[in-house]
Amino acid sequence: MRVGKKILALTLSLVAMAGCESEWELPYSPQAIRFSVGGKLDITTKGPIDQTMVNDHTVPVRVTATRGGSNLYTNEQIFRNAETGEWLPTQNQQKEWTTDIRHTFYANAYHPTNATTNGSLTITSPTNIVIQQPATYDEESKGRMVDYLLSQNFVYTVPMGSRPPLVKLMMEHAVTMVEINIAKHISFQSTSVYLKMLTLEGFYRSATMTCPTLAQYGKEGESNAENWQYTARGTKDAVYTIEGAAPFPSVTSGCVPLSVREDEDGVRMTFLATPQQLEEGCKLTVGYWVNEKYRDDLPDNFVYHESSFNLFDYRTVGNVALWAPGHHVVYTLEVDTGITLEGTIAPWVDVDYIEGTVLPVK
């Protein structure tokens, strides 16, 4: 009788758990394939996807997997348990490990989840996509830029009698982050400089992208960011602009002042671009006003300057002007007695893996 009461109490406890938990949070087999969605996403990311959107499933995370060469999951959505941080498919889609057989996994996540008038994404498969970014740069279109993430590979065979692993899906960007900074040299620290306009044009905003089957059958932890193959599409019709104002007859609230570069508070244009090799005619134009009075007792003397730079001439990767998948390209304009431009590039993968989450953006 005493044993029966214990069984009844356990049964009631499980019923109570089922009544208060979501379907994917129900108890699962110890052999169930469980996931951890993380990322090596730089926290300075300007992409639309952030941690909250991923964790609350606003941006779905989907897994594709094979077992022994046969399909195990095909773009199956997984869900996060808020208490454990682990991810699982819905209960009726949960699978168990099979010992001594090779399993491969990768995942994808993207924004927007459907086509918009500004940015759009067409998906044939997780590794075959068409991306189109907005034609203009403003507050509305920046939020509709396409951000596509594909994870590194997880490849594992569970030996007989061993404990199954947690499948770590480390997300990587397929697109390129481009950042343009404009500031003044320290020698102009006491000189008033105001932006009139910063315009970038002559680049493709659409591309067809394919990641070979290496994504599915590669080695564990193998990055896919370097494996994307891309072809530019459409015309180079995008025009991205930051507008300032004329600072005379008096400086107004509409003016955009430039700070010293070392202060890291200069004007910044940051956007997501489709990967591409830049061609002749990809032009960056900047116009600005400088107060050229040479004595404090003289009236203001704002003089307008304008310069253009062909970004085709600024090599970033392999001695070519390339916006590569998963990379962060930075162009820095600096105002002195004239204006100069320098370009740098770094992988868009700059922090350690954090288990159970996707790093937030700022």
Residue 248 has pLDDT above 90, yes or no: no
Q: What percent of the chain has pLDDT over 70?
A: 78
Q: Is 25 helix (H, G, I), strand (E, B) or coil?
A: helix
One-letter identity of residue 177: M
Residue 253 has pLDDT above 90, yes or no: no
Q: CA–CA separation, 200 vs 282, rounded Å?
A: 7
Q: CA–CA separation, 160 vs 297, rounded Å?
A: 86
Residue in 20, 48, 51 with CA at minimum distance from that of residue 38: 51
Predicted local confidence at residue 50, as pLDDT: 67
Q: CA–CA separation, 60 vs 65, rounded Å?
A: 16
Residue in 51, 40, 37 with CA at minimum distance from that of residue 362: 51
Q: In which band, very low, low, confident or very high, does the pLDDT at 265 lie, cut at 50, 70 and 90? A: low
DSSP state at residue 140: H
Mean pLDDT of the 151-167 span: 90
- CATH topology for 178-204+235-347 is Immunoglobulin-like (2.60.40)
Q: In which band, very low, low, confident or very high, does the pLDDT at 51 lie, cut at 50, 70 and 90? A: low
Domain boundaries, the chain: 178-204+235-347
Burial of 161 (0-12, 13-18, 19+ CB in 10 A): exposed
Predicted local confidence at residue 213, as pLDDT: 65
Contacts of 152 (CB under 8 A, 6+ apart): 106, 169, 170, 172, 221, 222, 223, 224
Residue 170 has pLDDT above 90, yes or no: no
Residue 35 has pLDDT above 90, yes or no: yes
Residue 4 has pLDDT above 50, yes or no: no
Q: Return the ∠ at Cα 109 (arms to 58 and 212), rounded to 5°.
A: 165
pTM to 2 decimal places: 0.82
Mean pLDDT of the 24-40 span: 72
Residue in 228, 223, 107 with CA at minimum distance from that of residue 174: 228
Q: CA–CA separation, 95 vs 277, rounded Å?
A: 42
Both ends of the chain: CA-CA distance in Å? 60
Reading phi first (left if > 0) and then psi (alpha if -120 to 50, else beta), residue 107 is in beta
Half-sphere exposure of 27 (CA within 13 A, CB side): 9
